[in-house]
Amino acid sequence: MRIVSVVGTRPQLIKAAALQPALRARHDEVFVDTGQHWDDALAGTFFRELGLARPDHSLAAGGGTHAEQTAAMLLGLEPILQEAAADVVLVYGDTNSTLAGALCAAKLGLPVAHVEAGLRSFDRAMPEELNRLVTDHLSAWCFAPTPTAVANLEREGLGARTWLVGDLMQDIAARVAREVRAPDSLAAVSAVPLGPAELPPLSPGGYLFATIHRAENREPEAVRAWAALLRRVAHPDRPIILPLHPGTLGPLEASGADLGPHVILVEPLGYRSALTLQLHAAAVLTDSGGVQREAAWLGTPCLVLRSSTEWLEAVRESEGGMLVVGLDADAAAVALDRLAPLEAARSLARTRAAALDLSAVGAAEAIANVLADDSPARALARLDARPD
């Protein structure tokens, strides 16, 4: 089949890097980058580092409001899908690029394959939740990463379109984790500070790692809340390393929020550097779904800086090592005192990294095989069938 794959953000590039070799071994792929993460530091390094093929088409549709972004993507994708004579449009995750790819394909009568289908936070104030819901209901192939995702799709009448394939991000994390277990891998981390502060010497358990990028955490009140949280838990002997998305830097500067002297802002990181810093951190603080999963696989304590999460298994199976704390500074401080106490964090981090044995789940092969055994006609017929 001729498959047009649509990506646009760093997490989607990671998933595409895991799937692309298996996909291209069986199918003809046209690779489209919407440019949702338009900054080279955000996306460009991922193509080089992860061995991704360069896009066949780049839309440069980053920036603007959700509506402006999605509209620009729709306008750019329609002629590409038509000229490519696509059989299938494959989309990843829950971004505006995902929604645009699914909508454009559906309007043209093309079947959609959704990688990472079925996730639900049950919070429709999140743009990502709306993107997930719409995309799943437009998709002929819902490739679910977890049993909970399968159950969500079955409850919505989409069981006949659903396959449990596992998580592509675990496959690529397993590949890289073997390279970053040794403590001296921290010396290879490439992190460029933003501003005058210097990056402190990095040692296992000697720092916290944080990421913040969600739309809800760019609102002025939320920015002040998470800045206060980070300021509260940062320590001279355990600073916070915070790679900052360009879309978050602007609201942070506009808010005038004070992060304090022990939160070190750095430019966006490459994949290996980010995974290395997560593995050897005393703990991770994040609002990112991808980082939550990586922390869970690596065994690093994780505080989720949101009021809900779509990755319920990661929380349930962490045995208390992953907690949803929102932007409650008191809750975060109490959790870190329990999960990564200053006096024990270094030893815990070294032990955790030395014992890491992360296995791939074969999600890429599973997805490529399902598509190879199916046809666009059968896929479209599933869309016309009555829900389960």
Q: Which domains does the chain have, with CATH numbers?
A: 2-167+361-384 (3.40.50.2000), 182-354 (3.40.50.2000)
Q: Using an 8 Å Cβ cutoff, are 368 and 19 in contact?
A: yes
Tokens standing for residue 370? 């399902």
Q: Using an 8 Å Cβ cutoff, are 34 and 61 in contact?
A: yes
Number of H helices, E strands in the chain: 16, 13
For residues 150-174, give the mean pLDDT: 96
What are the beta bridge partners of residue 32? 6, 57
pLDDT digits (tens, 9 = 90+) for 12-71: 999 999 999 999 999 999 999 998 865 565 566 777 788 889 999 999 888 788 899 999
Single pTM value for the model: 0.91
Q: What is the mean pLDDT of the chain?
A: 93
**pLDDT number for residue 42:** 55
Tokens standing for residue 273? 């550097």
For residues 359-381, give the mean pLDDT: 95
- Torsion, Cα 259 40 217 77, to 10 degrees, reads 170
Catalytic site positions? 213
Q: Using an 8 Å Cβ cutoff, are 223 and 252 in contact?
A: yes
**pLDDT number for residue 190:** 85
SS3 annotation, 180-236: CCCHHHHHHCCCCECCCCCCCCCCCCCCEEEECCCHHHHCHHHHHHHHHHHHHHCEC
Position 102, amino acid? A
For residues 315-333, give the mean pLDDT: 94
Q: At what angle do helices 168-177 and 271-280 cross, to 10 degrees?
A: 80
pLDDT digits (tens, 9 = 90+) for 120-159: 999 998 999 999 999 999 999 999 999 999 999 999 999 9
Contacts of 256 (CB under 8 A, 6+ apart): none
Q: Using an 8 Å Cβ cutoff, are 240 and 263 in contact?
A: yes
Position 374, amino acid? D
